Amino acid sequence: MSGDVYTLTSFRMKLRKLTNTILSLIIFALLSACSSTKEAVYFSSVTETEYGSSVESLEPTIQKNDLLSISVSSLNPDASEIFNAFSTSNVRSVTASNTVAPATGYLVDQDGYIQFPMLGKIRAAGMSKKALKDEIEEELLKRKLLLSPIVDIRYLNYKVSILGEVARPSVLTVPNEKLTLLEALGLAGDLTIYASRTNVLLIREEEGMKKLIRLDLTTDEIFTSPYYYLKSNDIIYVEPNKTKIASASAVRQWLPLVLSSMTLIVVSIDRLTR
């Protein structure tokens, strides 16, 4: 009798070891899909060097539905006050965060115009900020509304969207109208370990056309790329790497089968040993 009990106990111990071994193999299979260090780092081939920084092409043209802050100052502050109903000082502060704060400004309508105090409808769409600034200053002088007017124009809806394999997919609103690709990724919490760093997609709309640009963050070419600096309404999509896709596919295919098989084996052995 004692020999049978010993044999049964020994058999159950072997069964437990077998179960633990199978579980270990499953965990090993999942962990073996991890990305290599080289695939997970930025600029792995970059050596010490210097890169020029050019922001000449950053000035975008004003588009329909843009929201502008236009402030006016002159030698007569009281006379300037009427033109500052929607100036920066009257707008809630906007920060680079996931929450877009409500703002008040001059909305460029569907016809491309803004309604400006005393000057009426002014064409804004298709112009740069500098061109619109010069036009408003010229009109104020020509109509003798102000002496030595100074006009300042800022975007209130400068935003960039970050999607895909980042820690915090976000719509980023930035106040200084200057944002690099790396800064945007940093504000979104950086790329995850499963992100494809060799195939980041940038979607940009210019002159009514959408451009799709593929960027490789493992080389130094990004520093000289015309897309290093982002523009308003840019969309960045970070694709998952092959490791994650393969891992997810393998887990979906094999894990249910393995678990079902283990359950069947355990139940069958349990019944045989009773």
Q: Helices 2-31 and 242-272, interaxial angle, to 10°? A: 170
State what percent of residues in the chain have pLDDT above 90.
34
User: What is the mean pLDDT of the segment spanning 161-188?
Assistant: 90
Q: What are 211-223's pLDDT values in tens digits?
A: 999 999 988 888 8
What pLDDT, on a 0 to 100 scale, did the predictor assign at position 98?
A: 47
Confidence of residue 65 (pLDDT cuts 50, 70, 90): confident
- Judged by DSSP in three states, 167 sits in coil
Residues 84-133 have pLDDT tens digits of 876 544 444 434 444 444 557 899 999 999 999 999 999 999 899 999 99
Mean pLDDT of the 128-145 span: 94
Residues 6 or more apart whose Cβ sits within 8 Å of residue 50:
none
pLDDT at 66 over 60: yes
> Would strands 120-123 and 113-116 be described as parallel, antiparallel, or unpaired?
antiparallel
Q: Which long-range contacts (CB under 8 A, 24 or more apart) does 122-130 make?
A: 124/62, 124/66, 124/68, 125/61, 125/62, 125/63, 125/64, 125/66, 126/61, 126/62, 127/61, 127/62, 128/59, 128/60, 128/61, 128/62, 129/59, 129/62, 129/153, 129/154, 129/155, 130/59
Please tell me the predicted confidence (pLDDT) of residue 100: 45
pLDDT recorded at residue 99: 46
Q: Is the pLDDT of residue 224 over 70?
A: yes
Question: What pLDDT is recorded for position 223?
Answer: 87
- Give percent above pLDDT 70 in the chain: 61
pLDDT at 255: 58
Q: Which helix (H) or strand (E) holds 74?
A: none
Q: What is the pLDDT of residue 105?
A: 85
**Contact in structure between 42 and 197 (CB atoms under 8 Å):** yes
Output 98 or 64, whichever has higher pLDDT.
64
Q: Which pLDDT belongs to residue 270? A: 57
Provide the pLDDT for residue 22. Answer: 62
**Which residues, listed in sequence order, are joined to residue 72 by a DSSP beta bridge?**
151
pTM to 2 decimals?
A: 0.61
